[in-house]
Amino acid sequence: MSAILGLPANVVYATVAIYALLVIASIVVGVLRWKNPGERYSELASRTDSWWWMIGAFTLCILLNQTVAIFFLAFISYLALKEYLSLIPTRRIDREVLLFAYLAIPIQYYWAAIDWYGMFIVFVPVWMFLFLPPLLVLRGRSEGFLRAVGTISSGLMMTVFTLSHMAWLLVSGDVVNPVAGGVGLLFFLVVLTQFNDVAQYCWGKLFGRHKVTPHVSPKKTWEGLIGGVATTTLVAALAGPYLTPLDMRWSALAGLILGIAGFLGDITMSAMKRDLGVKDTGGLIPGHGGILDRVDSPLTRHRCSCTSSATSTTHEQEPAHETAQVPVLRRGGARLDPCRARSYGAASRAAA
C-alpha cells in the first residue's frame, strides 16, 4: 500500500473527498439560506457547521497517530456515557459506583489498544455485567436495585462496548487490510455510518411520505430509509475496494448491512429518549443534539458489521500469510473479517 504522510494513500484520498463533499454541502446550504432567509434553514445551517467541527476533530485525531486516535475515541465514549448517566434516573447511593462504570472506559480501550480480542469482547458484557451488581448491592439498599443494574449495564453496552469497536478496528485492522490498513477500515465504517444518516435525512426530507414507526420516531419514513440504504450501498460498493479488503459485491453487502443497522440504532435511541421524555440527549452539538444523538446509529452498526462478517466461511488456510504480503488472499477471499482474522494474526505471530 502506498503512503502519503505516513497514511495509506487511499485514506488520504477519502479524506479529501469528504472535505470536498462538505464544501459542496456548505455551499448548497448557504445558497438555500440566502434565498430563504429566516428560521427555515437555520437548523440545517447549524447542522452543517457542526459537521465541520466533528469531521475536523475526527480526521485530525485519527490521522495524527494511533495513540491520539484511541484517546479521542475513548473520550467520545466518556461523553456518551456521561450523557446517558445524566439522563437516566439514578439512585443517590449509587453515585460512587458510577465511577466504576466510567473506569470501564480506559480498561476497555486498553484491551483494544493491545489487541487482546478475547478480553476486549467479554470485558463489558461479562466482567462488568457481573462486577457491578455486587457493588450496587454493597451500597446497602435493595429498592431500585434491578433498575440500577439494568440501566447501568445497558448504558455500558451502548456507550463503551459498541463504540470501542472503532478503536479495535483501527488497531487490529492492519493485519487484514493491506489495501488501506486499520485506519482504512475505520474510515469506511465511520464515514459510511454518518453518510447513511445524512442520506436517510435527505431522502426523507425530499420524498418522505410513509412513516416506518409512527410511535417511536415519527420523522422516519420508508422513502428516507430505502433511499438512504440504497445510496449507502452504492457508495460502499464504490469505496469498499479502495478502503477495505472487500471486493465490490461484498462492499455493497457491507453497505446494506450498515444502512439497515444504522436505522435500527437510530430508532433504538429514539425509543430510549421517548421513554425518558427528552427530545435531544444533550446540547453538545448545535443542530444535532447530544453526542448520543450523533453516535446512536454506529452503536448497533459497529457490532453488526463485525459479527456479520464473523460468520464468513471462506478462510483460506494460508499459514504463510505474514502481515502485509497478502493482497491476493484478502482480495480473493473477499471477506472483511476482522473478528476472525484476529486469530489469524495471533496464529501467524505464534508461528513466527
Binding status of residue 121 toward another protein by CB under 8 A:
no
Contacting residue, 39, 209, 277, 350, with another protein by CB under 8 A: 277
Contacting residue, 6, 39, 67, 99, with another protein by CB under 8 A: 99
Q: Per-residue b/e over 254-287, b at no fewer than 16 CB within 10 Å?
A: bbbbbbbbbbebbbbbbebbeeeeeeebbebbee
The CB-of-284 to another protein minimum distance in angstroms stands at 7
Cell 470501542 appears where?
A: 164
Binding status of residue 91 toward another protein by CB under 8 A:
yes
Nearer to another protein, 25 or 284 (CB): 284
The CB-of-155 to another protein minimum distance in angstroms stands at 13
C-alpha–C-alpha distance, residues 195 and 201, integer Å: 10
- Grid cell digits, residue 7: 497514511
Contacting residue, 36, 42, 65, 86, with another protein by CB under 8 A: 86
Binding status of residue 210 toward another protein by CB under 8 A:
no
Single-letter code of the amino acid located at 200: Q
Nearer to another protein, 115 or 280 (CB): 280
Contacting residue, 29, 54, 202, 284, with another protein by CB under 8 A: 284
Stretch that binds another protein, among 8-16, 27-35, 160-168, 275-283 (CB under 8 A): 275-283
List Cα–Cα distances, 194 to 107, 197, 200, 264, 296, in angstroms.
27, 5, 10, 14, 10
Q: Specify burial of residue 51 (Cβ count, 10 A radius: 0-12, 13-18, 19+).
A: buried
The CB-of-220 to another protein minimum distance in angstroms stands at 22
The CB-of-84 to another protein minimum distance in angstroms stands at 10
Contacting residue, 30, 214, 283, 332, with another protein by CB under 8 A: 283
Stretch that binds another protein, among 126-134, 280-288, 325-333, 343-351 (CB under 8 A): 280-288
Binding status of residue 135 toward another protein by CB under 8 A:
no
Using CB under 8 A, count the residues that bind another protein. 23
Q: Which of 300, 216, 282, 301 is nearest to 81 (CA)?
A: 282
Binding status of residue 88 toward another protein by CB under 8 A:
yes
Would you tell me how many other CB atoms lie within 10 Å of the CB of residue 352? 7
289 bridge partner residues = 285
211 bridge partner residues = 221
List Cα–Cα distances, 132 to 102, 123, 138, 156, 165, in angstroms.
12, 12, 10, 11, 22
Binding status of residue 90 toward another protein by CB under 8 A:
yes
Binding status of residue 95 toward another protein by CB under 8 A:
yes
Binding status of residue 160 toward another protein by CB under 8 A:
no
Task: Classify residue 210 by its DSSP letter.
Answer: S
The CB-of-258 to another protein minimum distance in angstroms stands at 29
Nearer to another protein, 35 or 143 (CB): 143
Q: Which helix (H) or strand (E) holds 7?
A: strand 7-8
Residues that bind another protein in the complex, under the rule CB under 8 A: 78-79, 82-83, 85-92, 95-96, 98-99, 102, 276-278, 282-284
